[in-house]
A = this chain, B = another copy of it.
Amino acid sequence: MKTTIAIDIGGTQMRAASYPLDDLEPLTINRISTHGVNLTPQERLTQLIKSVWPESGEVLSIGVAAPGPLNPKTGVLLSAPNIPEWKNFTLSKYIEAEFNTPTAAGNDANLAALGEWKFGAGKGHHHMIYLTISTGVGGGVIIDDRLLVGANGLAGELGHLTVSPDGPFCSCGQRGHLEAMASGPSIVRWVKEKLEDGVKSQIPRDEPLTPKLIAQAAQKGDELALGAFKRAGTFIGHAIADFLHIFNPTAIIIGGGVSQAGELILTPIKDAIPKYLFGPGYLEGLVILKAALGDDAGLMGALALSREMLHRQQS
């Protein structure tokens, strides 16, 4: 049987799966820790790929979603959070050499966008923006049925749009980026500050504050918790208005842990967008949807990438 392999690499775990050419059900899927005692991360990666390699099958291509900035043309991963060993690591070439199989790699947020577009909530749209709101804020853009990657693969960093020029510092060191105003940690930080200021709230204080805890309080009508999602959603909505002016897509797909709060975050996002648009044309045919693939988006994007390679080889 002819197959392809998809891999999703994270700072703590790596997953790989083998697929028939015409099915989304994996033949084998496996997960291991990125770091271990005896083997380096790349040795563990080799082990993982071997573990899903189909015994009696032919692997035509491999697609990899990697954390951190990656040049898809050269397959070089510039850096990866929590994998300090991989600085300027020639990821695609390493796998190609180990397995003698054509390999393509991409940034995980970009590939999650590709996955949602090919197999998830963005299916059928030619112009789509994907935002993942989680520990960070990542993004990916589909333009005319193609993933935006830019000259060196650094495009699509939608979480680093400046939305509040004098706002708090972002994880990247700059000020007031969308990630600094609307990520999970930034929602927690804002609530903490308000609690320290003496704002009344039913949010429990005997356990570490998380976006999930804040969402639970919001669902019970807690005003501070509701305000936290409204504030984050308004920043996201304002940023989306900017992205609409730039890209004029027909679908906005929102994924990541914070999107699990559902309407708590989606309603303020949808309320904010039209307030910041300069014309109603941008809303024509536009849908704003929760992502459909959850934690599988990156893996499914890697699958889409590995299958795209085959089409390019055939054409």
Minimum C-beta distance from A80 to chain B (A):
14
The answer to whether residues A246 and B248 also contact, given A69-B279, A78-B281, A172-B278 and a CB cut-off of 8 A, is no
Known: A157-B278, A162-B238, A162-B241. 9 other contacts (CB 8 A): A127-B150, A151-B248, A156-B246, A157-B246, A161-B242, A161-B246, A172-B278, A174-B277, A246-B246
Could you tell me which A residues sit within 8 Å of B by CB distance? 69, 78, 126-127, 141, 143-144, 146, 148-158, 160-165, 170, 172-174, 177, 238, 241-242, 245-250, 276-279, 281-282, 284-285
Residues of B within 8 A of A276 (CB): 162, 174
Residue of B162, B170, B173, B245 touching A242 (CB-CB under 8 A) = B162
Minimum C-beta distance from A144 to chain B (A):
7
A161 to B178, CA, bound (A): 14
The answer to whether residues A245 and B127 also contact, given A281-B152, A282-B154 and a CB cut-off of 8 A, is no
Residues of B within 8 A of A281 (CB): 69, 78, 152, 154
A87 to B133, CA, bound (A): 40
Minimum C-beta distance from A269 to chain B (A):
16
Minimum C-beta distance from A169 to chain B (A):
11
The reply to whether A238 and B157 contact each other, CB–CB distance below 8 Å, is no
The reply to whether A174 and B278 contact each other, CB–CB distance below 8 Å, is yes
A-B contact pairs, 20 of them (CB 8 A): A69-B279, A78-B281, A143-B143, A151-B248, A151-B250, A152-B285, A154-B245, A154-B248, A154-B282, A155-B245, A156-B246, A157-B246, A157-B278, A158-B245, A162-B241, A165-B165, A172-B279, A173-B278, A174-B277, A246-B246
Residues of B within 8 A of A127 (CB): 150-151
A34 to B36, CA, bound (A): 72
Residue of B141, B148, B154, B163 touching A162 (CB-CB under 8 A) = B163
The reply to whether B161 and A163 contact each other, CB–CB distance below 8 Å, is no
The reply to whether B143 and A249 contact each other, CB–CB distance below 8 Å, is no
The answer to whether residues A248 and B170 also contact, given A148-B143, A276-B162 and a CB cut-off of 8 A, is no
Closest Cβ neighbor of A148 among chain B residues: B143
Minimum C-beta distance from A293 to chain B (A):
23
The answer to whether residues A245 and B143 also contact, given A162-B276, A172-B278, A174-B278 and a CB cut-off of 8 A, is no
Pick from A152, A156, A238 the residue with the most CB of B within 10 Å.
A152
Residues of B within 8 A of A153 (CB): 248
Residues of B within 8 A of A279 (CB): 69, 154, 172
